[in-house]
């Protein structure tokens, strides 16, 4: 191994999801040197999933012709409640994990320091460090995917709250008596504007006899529906899909207004699979609704933007976490 390369500080960023594990290897300036992907296989239990994370990191390192010794630290964004101090996953329902010592086990397997954060917090860090110019002091990130999560930066630092669970923006109730949420409550933002909620509303409308071109494409049960299909349907003039996406965007605008009223950040950044696929259709409505519902003094001058990081926010965030923690 060349000595120059051996001295280089590289970081591994891992995005641990319910179905796939992504790893990116990043140089000191957070330039991506290479990446790897494996399926999670959560049903095989935590021990095997952690071995698969280790394999994914090794694959990514190998992909860039590096050696594990050149990796200064590994940062992981993990779903669910995370104790970032100890690197334990306290509760991750979509992995079926309860109190798993991810940091400790993975450090033993890789021989490299490992740091763990909630996946939305990690994505927030990644966007903050690589996408937001001028380094605003107060930023809130909202990520619309299968669920809805958030990350809060206060005074330039990730805000995790009293017991580490801050930023659960998806569980802010915005419709009293609204649809049931995965958390057990009703009318949460997540139950109204996540991909799961959008798909449910569309299925219910189809069951009620409403027409969409998507049933011709995917069948009456809308099997294998993806966010990209919704965008294509809107572009082709599908009124039902357009209406449901407009409603989701309005709920998102209301959530943004609530956050701005409470935190008064300089920037609100929206990301996640729904925004990646439907940002063009949703952002104007989100902005308008946030202005309508927010207090005028609070919303003045606040930037509400869509992240361009897409799927990469998680791995970049993991690398930022690794770099921040290992300094
Ligand atoms: Zn909820």
Residue corresponding to tokens 């012709």: 65
The pLDDT profile of the chain, 327 residues, written as one tens digit per residue, is 444 455 578 999 999 999 999 999 999 999 999 999 999 999 999 999 999 999 999 999 999 999 999 999 999 999 999 999 999 999 998 899 999 999 999 999 999 999 999 999 999 999 999 999 888 999 999 999 989 999 999 999 999 998 888 999 999 999 999 999 988 999 999 999 999 999 999 999 999 999 999 999 999 889 899 999 999 999 999 999 999 999 999 999 999 999 999 999 999 999 999 999 999 999 999 999 999 999 989 999 999 999 999 889 999 999 999 999 998
**DSSP bridge pairs for 76:** 14, 116
Integer Cα distance of 22 and 17 in angstroms:
8
Residues contacting residue 180 through CB under 8 Å, at least 6 positions apart: 186, 191
CA 169–ligand 1 middle distance (angstroms): 9
| 23 Cα to the center of ligand 1, angstroms | 29
Separation of 249 CA from ligand 1 center, angstroms? 18
pLDDT computed for residue 4 by the predictor: 47
273 C-alpha vs ligand 1 centroid, how far in Å? 19
* pLDDT value for 3: 46
How far does the centroid of ligand 1 lie from the alpha carbon of residue 189, in Å? 7
Q: Ligand 1 centroid to 179 CA: how many Å?
A: 10
Distance 187 CA to ligand 1 centre (A): 7
Count the neighbouring beta carbons within 10 Å of the beta carbon of residue 70: 17
Round to whole Å and give the CA distance between 188 and 310: 24
105 vs 122: CA distance, rounded Å: 20
Distance CA 148, CA 67 (A): 36
Cβ contact 80:92 at 8 Å = yes
CB atoms within 10 A of CB 247: 16
């Amino acid at each position: 191994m060349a000595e120059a390369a051996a001295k280089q500080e590289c970081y591994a960023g891992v995005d641990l999801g319910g179905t796939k594990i992504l790893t990116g290897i990043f140089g000191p300036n957070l330039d991506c040197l290479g990446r790897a992907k494996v399926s999670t296989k959560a049903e095989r239990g935590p021990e095997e999933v952690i071995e698969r994370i280790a394999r994914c990191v090794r694959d990514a390192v190998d992909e860039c012709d590096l050696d594990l010794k050149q990796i200064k630290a590994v940062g992981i964004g993990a779903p669910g409640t995370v104790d970032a101090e100890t690197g334990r996953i306290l509760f991750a329902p979509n992995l079926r994990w309860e109190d798993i010592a991810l940091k400790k086990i993975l450090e033993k397997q890789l021989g490299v320091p490992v740091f763990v954060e909630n996946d939305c917090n990690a994505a927030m860090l990644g966007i903050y460090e690589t996408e937001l110019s001028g380094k605003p002091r107060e930023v809130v990130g909202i990520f619309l995917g299968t669920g809805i999560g958030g990350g809060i930066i206060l005074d330039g630092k990730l805000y995790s709250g009293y017991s580490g669970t801050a930023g659960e923006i998806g569980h802010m109730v915005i419709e009293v008596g609204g649809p049931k949420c995965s958390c057990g409550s009703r009318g949460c933002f997540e139950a109204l504007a996540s991909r799961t909620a959008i798909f449910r509303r569309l299925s219910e409308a189809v069951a009620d006899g409403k027409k969409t071109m998507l049933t011709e494409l995917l069948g009456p049960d809308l099997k294998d529906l993806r966010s990209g299909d919704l965008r294509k349907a809107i572009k082709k003039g599908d009124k039902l899909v357009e209406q449901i996406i407009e409603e989701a965007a309005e709920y998102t605008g209301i959530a943004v207004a609530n956050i701005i009223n409470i935190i008064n950040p300089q920037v609100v950044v929206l990301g996640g699979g729904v925004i990646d696929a439907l940002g063009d259709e949703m952002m104007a409505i989100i902005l308008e609704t946030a202005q309508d519902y927010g207090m005028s003094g609070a919303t003045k001058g606040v930037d509400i933007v869509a992240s361009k990081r897409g799927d990469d926010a998680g791995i970049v965030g993991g690398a930022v976490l690794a770099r921040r923690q290992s300094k």
